[in-house]
Each structure stands twice: as structure tokens, then as C-alpha cells.
Structure 1
């Protein structure tokens, strides 16, 4: 899961650097490299096009995962990304920026399943006593993908073959990942070809989910009337929009506003995600320890770590809002700090779906991700308008950063007021039957404690 996450995020993150290389006028006379005259608004459309497809496919992806499981859906996503990477340089020469938008939209469609699939697999593979610890490692592939993708894309763009080499290398990476995914994974412990009987029994005893063979009806009414799910959605919106801002606009901010070269901006763009990766892994271990030892309840962990992340991100954004090229070191340090603090979210709202409903965690993440990305789609467009097509405009960047800081703090307040970690009654496969059962029918015939002591 970690390798699959890393590889797909490498493909996703490469476009922020690639679009700068595709419009780099200093190489316009290089033989065999096509350079395009796309202004900032056109680049914003290209960067946002991924999220159009990503949003459209969120809910269908959740339903497909519920029907087919995590392994086959992710395999299709990986192979599709390999093909799309090969096609992009070839078709761009024919159709220009509109073709790039169309291909990135398709990349978004195929990658919509990534996080819901991982949540589905987490619910099927990790017992509650180990879930927080390992989710930080698995989702660390997101940050590692960016750490690798951005600087490597910058280096590949400066080779003799230029920016097309970025996409050909990504295609090769996808093929290798597809082979690993095919032979080393399974949707459930019971389906894995090499798992031992003892490990399978240990995992299944600690899962607290329904039997894989039992078909579960989706409790749509209860999901759409659940206040905690709306609280998680609000938190997801703030995190998603902030992350998209950093993810898509950071290379431009570093190069144009802070006057850092393309190669150096690509390398620096990856640095903040190293902090995010480290904090996500470490905080996950700490959170699991605090929960297992009874120091904090599950809901206490979610609220505290989510709040630390939100406050940290807001502080970083507030500092960035009042810096310029003369303060490059402080600005880069603030970016690193802000994204490091987002690692706390993994032990916050991100695990809350699994708390509420282990059986429908993947579908719930699809729903909250869908709403969050509806807002995220407008971030590159909003940024381009705030900058008035001038990426060197520090006042425009200040508007963007201050707006995002306020949004982050406000959404976190709503989250901590209304969320819970209690498993919801409708997650029980027998919920509907129990609703209409007589009270005396719900009393166990044999008391479990008496039975074990007799």
C-alpha cells in the first residue's frame, strides 16, 4: 500500500513542475523540445483539471470499492496512469493545453479511488489496536511521492530530452508498481496467497467488522443525517484546500515570488513534505500509544491532534503572508513548518471515518473527499485571479495565504465541537433487524463472563 501510494502521488505531483518546464521560454530554441506560451490562468486550468476528474469519480469509486474490493480497483488505476503518462507528451503536440487538461482529468478520474481504497484496505487488514500506528506509515507514501516527484521532475526537465522525459519515467514507475501490486497484495487476509493461518486468525479477530461474505446494504439515510460525518467533512474541506494550495502553487510561489530557480524550487518544493511525512509517522505512533494506554480516548486523540495541525498550518500561512524575496530562508522554513504540522491530521479527522464505521470507511472517505475536492478545484483558479495573472505579486499571495489561514481555523472549530469517535449503530450489519426486535430478544442467553469463568 505504501509503495502504491507513493507511485501514484509521484505521478500526481509531477505536473506542478512539468507545467513550468513546458512554458520555460529559456529553452524555446532547444531542438526537439516543444515550449508553449501558456499564461498563468491557462496553467491554473491545467493544474486544476486533475481535480475535476478527481471530484467526479469520488462517490462512484467508493461504490466500486464496496463491490469489488481494494486490490483490483487500485490495479486498474495504476495501469491507467501508466498509459496516460505515455500519451501526454505525444498528444500535447497535437492538441495543446486542452489535451493536457483532458489527460489530467483522466488521471484524476483514475486516482479518485486511491484514498478510499486505502481506507477500505485498512478496515480489512488492521486491527483497531494497531490502526493509528500504521496509517501514518502507509499514508506517508503521499508525502514521499511529492518529495520524490517534484525534485526528480525538475532534474528530468533539465535533461536533453526535456519535460517529456518526466512522463515517460512516470510510466515506467507505474508498470513496476502494477507488477508488485498484482503479486504481493490481496483485498482481505482470507484472499492472500501467502498469509499464514495464525496471522489470518489474529487479524480477523481484531477487525471488528462484518464477514466478507455478508452483503451489506449501504445506510444512506443514516449517513446523510449524521452530524459527526458533516463535522469530518468540514475538517476535510479545510485540509484539502490548504493541501491543494501547497501542492499546486508551491513551485510557482518559490520560483516567481521568492525568485528561486526552477531546479532549486523543485528541490525545495519537496522539503516541506519530508517534515509532513516524518510528523505523520511519529504522531501516529504517539497517538496509538496514548490511546492504548488509556491516557486519551479516541475522540480526544482526534480533536487534539487535528487542532494542533490546524493551528500550526495557520501560523505558517500567516508568516508567509508578510514575507518576500528578501526573506527566502524564513519563507522556506515557514513552508516546511506548515506542511510538517499537517502530519497531525492523519491522527485527527483522517482516522475518524474508521472510528464511526469500519464497514463503510472507504465509502465515507469517498463522500467527504468528494465535497472537499469540490472546494479544492477552485484553489488554482482562485489563486490565478488573486494574483491577477502576475505570480510575482506579493499582495496577491498575501490575500491567498490569509484567506486559507482563516478557513483552516474556522473549520477546525466546527470539527472539534461536533465530532465523535463512537462507532455508529448503523455500521452493525444487523442494525435494521435490531431496531425492530423486542428488548427481551436482545438479552444474551448465556452471560459471556459467567461462561468463561465456569
Structure 2
């Protein structure tokens, strides 16, 4: 391992790795805000009364007209300018709006896997800085592009989606290099909280700015988020480094602590990705299937719950927005508490890492599925329905300690590429979920149709957690460059000699007693 000469510094009050974790949270927050803001801002951007007109027809209608008014007492004539329609309206129809909203998703689908591999080979610092800067600039010019040309606005939105899709691969490469073994779950959870905070705060901000006259109303949304993104990009460039070895201000004590308690070496990432072994690995497919199920569930909470509350409870838009935000607030706390508990249980040496990952995957899938289904069996009791929805999201994020971090155990060297595969699986699940909702719930939703849809989701969740429990494993895989031996991989997974055997440790190991070597094991290494 190539190391730079020691800088002789002593440990400070705040660990450098946690500063990097918080700044990464800010980066993810700004990129998620980029993704979320348009879905609400587009309502203020377009005039619903002009939906049936073509852009050419709408353009012929003046934004204001002059009225001549005569005062009967003084017989004076005045010309009054009456605004006929908002001058900031864009002449787009609903189908045009839908195309623009799709552009972000297309960019997010295409980017995670290549972003992960580029981050591994060249480091996440420069890549994330470039993408955040690109996203920030595109946000600043987006209002002008919307007024000028729809194709240009579509391309900018595609670019913003591409940048957003790269955030998690970059973040998880940092986790693999900066987080010690018994901190990586909490490390990843805190970073992931940036996305939850973005979803929680962006919608109220967009609503307030769009309804104001500040910088023209809705354009101010993009100016503010774009400026914030550029500021965070500059902070990122001067504070975040690819690994502890290259950081100029980290103390010797902290650097040594990280290097002694992590598996990966940044130099190993230059080795070609063994795609054949990766795609034929049983634990990898456990991650793909379980993340598909989780992506489906998360998409329901973020995309369908407002519609569910509206159709079942017929709530005012203000209340609907508040209740839709509560699950994110609860999940920020539950995610980090669960992750801290997971790391604590592993560091105590009482439970294996595989057992902890599968246990919290069960909590996430089964707990959230039960709450989601229960929400359709309490009639129209607002308090109970909202409670079950909030609990559903709070349980769901237990996956941050379950199927969403196991790739850091099985292959820290290729953490970016594998999380890219997982993110792609989640994005595909989101599309499939929306199509299923359109078919099952339909245009005239009822409590019964929602119940049927949620039951199907519960079934998918149960399948996902069982598949994960059967083939999932936190043992370092043989195709990862940091792999030394089967015995070492098993020892690392067990977290100590006094580990408690659980139902989540069904491994079957055949050992040659004469040579003291492992002959075979289950789950298998299919490659």
C-alpha cells in the first residue's frame, strides 16, 4: 500500500471522517433537491387553462391587454394594463410536462453503474465535484432554457438526472475507504439522510418560492438550488479527499485507526472489474432482488402515498402535504438509530455481520409491509392511517442496515459499481411499480383497489426478504482483490469467537480436518 509521509498531526476534537460524512450528506441533499423540485415547480410554471392549446396557439395570446376607462365624474380617460395571464407561464401542455419529468429519471437510470466504476478508478472527489458543478450550472440556466426551447430544457433535465444518479456510487466509494469496519453502517446511513432531508424540505420550499414574486416566482427555485449546489461543490472540493492517505490534514492517529480497520485499498480499484464472477455470484443476486423489492416499496411511499391519502381521506392539499412529509421526518431518526444499533451489536462480537444484515432486512421488509397493508384495514380513520404510513417508512429504512450496505461487506473494492447495480434495480422497480399502480388502482381508486395493490407489495417484500436471507452473505467474496482466504473471510464475518448462532446463520461449512481447510460452504460462490 502506497502511503504519503506522516504529517505528524495529532487527533482533533472532530474526526475528519465524520466531517467528510456530513459534507457528503450536504452534497446528496443538494442533488436530491434538484431531482424533487421540478415535480412541484412545474405546476407553477404552466397554465392549466392552456392545456388544450398547442404552443403556437398559446403564444398568440398576449400576457396583458390595455383597457381604456373613463371616469364619469371628471370625464378623464385612463389606460389600465390588465394582466391576462402570468408572464412567467411556459406554453406547455400536460404531455409536455410529463416528458420533462421523465427526463430526470432517464438520466438517473443510465448513470449509477458507470459512475461507480469511474469513482473506483479515479476517485469520487473530482467526479462528484464536476457533476455537482454541472448540475448547479444547469439549474441556473434552466428557467431561461424553459422559456427558449423545450428540447434544450429536456437535455438540461436529462443532465441533472444523470448527475443525481451518480451521487450514491460516489458516496459509497467514500464509505469503503473512510469508514472503519464497525462504523460503516452508520456512516452510510448519515450520508443517506441527505436524500431524506432533501425530500422533506424541498417541497415546502418550492411551494413558498413558487407562490411569491421573488425573482419571478418559480424561476427562483432553480436559482436558489443551483446556487446552493455550486457552494456545496466548492466546499466539497476543498474538504473531501478520496482516501485517508491523500488527506493533508488528517491526524496520524485517525489515519492509522482507519487503515487498520478497513479491508479495501484504493490501489486495488484499478484492477479490472470481474464482471463474470460478479454477475454469477449468489450474494450479488440476493442484493439485486432485495433492492428491487425495496425500491418498489420506497417508490410507493414517495410517489403513491399522497394519492392514497387524497383518494381515501379526501384531505385538503395542505394537510396532505404535511402528512406526506411526516414519514421522511420519522425515517431520518429511525435510520440512524437502527444503523448505530447494528454497528454496536457487531462490534460487541455477539452476532455475525451476515446475521445483522438479514435481521434488519426482515425488520425493514416485514414491518413496513404489515403497516402498509394495515393502513387499508382501519376505514377512514385519519390518525390511524397516517400512523401506519409513518411507521411503514420508519421500518423501511432499516434496509440501510440490511440489504443496502451488504455490498460494503462482500466487495469493498467494487462498492461503487455494485451499489450502481443496486440503484439501477431500484429505478427499474420504480417504473414497474408505477405501471402496476396504474393497472390495479386505476383512474377511480377505491379503498379495495389500494388494499389489493398494497397486498401485492407485501407479497413482493416477503419474497425479497426470504431470497435475501437464503442467498445473502456478508463474507468477503473471492473475486474481490482484498480477499485473502476463506478462513479469514469467515472470521471477519463472525466478529469474534463468542458469536451467537442465530437463524440467520444457516451456513453449511465442510472442513477438511487433516488440512484444516474449507472444502465447501453455503451460500455458494457460484462463480
- Bin for the TM-score computed over the shorter chain: 0.7 to 0.9
Which residue is equivalent to 1:17? 40
> Which residue is equivalent to 1:5?
28
The answer on whether the counterparts of 1:5 and 1:114 sit within 8 Å (CA) in structure 2 is yes
Q: Which runs of structure 2 are paired with 1:312-323 in the superposition (5 Å)?
A: 312-321=367-376
- Work out the CA distance in 2 between the residues paired with 1:78 and 1:343: 26
Question: Which one has more relative contact order, counting CA pairs under 8 Å at least 6 apart?
Answer: 1
Contact kept in structure 2, 1:6 and 1:145, CA below 8 Å: yes
Q: Give, in angstroms, the shift of residue 380 of structure 1.
A: 3.6
Q: Aligned runs of 1:54-453 on 2, under 5 Å?
A: 54-95=108-149, 102-160=155-213, 161-210=216-265, 212=267, 215-255=270-310, 258-321=313-376, 326-389=380-443, 394=447, 397-429=450-482
Q: Which runs of 5+ in 1 are unaligned?
A: 433-441, 444-454
Preserved CA contact (<8 Å) 1:315 1:405: yes
Q: Deviations over 1:391-428 (max 9, x none)?
A: x6555544543332222221111111110111112213
Query: C-alpha displacement at 1:53, in angstroms?
Result: 1.5
The answer to whether the 8 A contact 2:47-2:89 is kept is no
On the 8 A contact 1:154/1:266 being kept in 2, the answer is no
Q: TM-score of the superposition, structure 2-length normalised?
A: 0.74
Residue by residue over 1:326-350, the C-alpha shift from the partner in whole angstroms, topping out at 9 and shown as x without a partner, is 4333332222111111221011011
How far apart, CA to CA, are the structure 1 residues paired with 2:432 and 2:143? 26
DSSP 3-state at the match of 1:294: coil
- State the secondary structure of the residue aligned to 1:383: helix
- TM-superposed CA distance for 1:279, in Å, is 0.7
Distance 1:415 1:45 in 2: 36
Distance (whole Å) between structure 2 residues aligned to residue 360 and residue 257 of structure 1:
45
Query: Scaled by the length of structure 1, what TM-score is found?
Result: 0.85
Distance 1:36 1:257 in 2: 33
Within 2, Cα distance between the matches of 1:76 and 1:20? 30
Give the superposition deviation at 1:5: 1.6
Q: Give the direction of change, closer, same or farther, for the CA distance of 1:225–1:431 in structure 2 (3 Å limit).
A: farther
Distance 1:299 1:38, change over 3 A: farther
Q: Give 1:130 deviation, angstroms.
A: 1.8
Could you report, residue by residue, the CA deviation over 1:79-119 in whole angstroms, capped at 9, with x for unpaired residues? 122123223333333455x7665443322211221111111
Query: Matches of 2:344 and 2:238 in 1, distance apart?
Result: 33
CA contact (8 A) 1:45 1:381 kept: no
- Output the CA distance in 1 between the equivalents of 2:353 and 2:392: 25
The 8 Å contact of residues 235 and 415 in structure 1, kept in 2 or not, is answered as: yes
Question: How many Å separate the matches in 1 of 2:221 and 2:305?
Answer: 19
CA contact (8 A) 2:90 2:146 kept: no
> Match for residue 12 of structure 2?
none
> Which whole-Å deviations, capped at 9, do the CAs of 1:294-333 have from their partners, x for residues lacking one?
2321011001101111012212321344577x43333322
Question: How far 1:182 moved relative to its partner?
Answer: 1.2
Whole-angstrom CA distance in 2 between matches of 1:220 and 1:92: 41
In structure 1, what is the Cα distance between the partners aligned to 2:430 and 2:407?
20
Q: In structure 2, do the counterparts of structure 1 residues 323 and 78 end up closer, same or farther at CA, with 3 Å as the change threshold?
A: farther
Q: Give yes or no for contact 1:25–1:35 (8 Å, CA) kept in 2.
A: no
- Give 5+ residue unaligned stretches, structure 2: 1-23, 52-83, 486-514, 517-527
Task: Name whichever of 300-309 and 402-411 sits farther off.
Answer: 402-411
Instruction: Look up the SS of the partner of 1:269 in the other structure.
Output: helix
**In 2 relative to 1, CA 34–23 (structure 1 residues): closer, same or farther, beyond 3 Å?**
closer
How far 1:381 sits from its partner (Å)? 4.4
Displacement of 1:30: 5.5
Judged with a 3 Å threshold, the aligned counterparts in structure 2 of structure 1 residues 301 and 387 are, in CA distance, closer, same or farther, namely same
Q: Offset at 1:273? A: 0.7
